[in-house]
Homo-oligomer: A and B are copies of this chain.
Amino acid sequence: MFKQILEDMVNQTPGGVGAVLMGYDGIAIDQHVAEGDDVDLQLVAIEYSNVVKEIRKTAEILGTGELQEVSVKTGRYFVIIHAVSPDYFVALTLTRDGNFGKGRYLLMRDTPRLREALA
């Protein structure tokens, strides 16, 4: 069920490379990578789980409220991360010519479905 939601997200986002549902402990629950892409999504997710943990800690220290979304733009990719629950997050990776706004929208739309599926 996770897989289908992740797959739809990647397929419906122009430039979508992959999506992964992951625990803050760095262990992926499920993922989908677009065909033809050789991105090591597992590695990406583990690395970003450290980043997200750091940001979560920061938000706590600063009292700026719960972490909801992080997006990162690098030379090659966009990565958009949404908090799903206190233990899990979902990360969507797209190419730089991909549709960032659509990706954000789909994450926002589908995060509640992932949350329900986790419960």
- Determine if B67 and A47 form an interchain contact, defined as CB atoms under 8 angstroms apart: no
**A43 within 8 A of partner (CB):** yes
**A70 within 8 A of partner (CB):** yes
A75 and chain B: residue at smallest CB distance? B65
A93 and chain B: residue at smallest CB distance? B64
**A73 within 8 A of partner (CB):** yes
When distances are taken between beta carbons in the complex, the residues of chain B under 8 Å from A47 are: 58, 61-62
Number of interface residues of A (CB under 8 A): 27
- Determine if B72 and A55 form an interchain contact, defined as CB atoms under 8 angstroms apart: yes
When distances are taken between beta carbons in the complex, the residues of chain B under 8 Å from A61 are: 47
Q: Mark A67-96, 1 if CB is under 8 A from B, else 0.
A: 111111111110100000000000000000
Closest 6 CB pairs of A and B: A65-B75, A65-B76, A69-B73, A47-B58, A65-B74, A64-B74
The contact of A74 among B59, B71, B73, B77, by CB within 8 Å, is B59
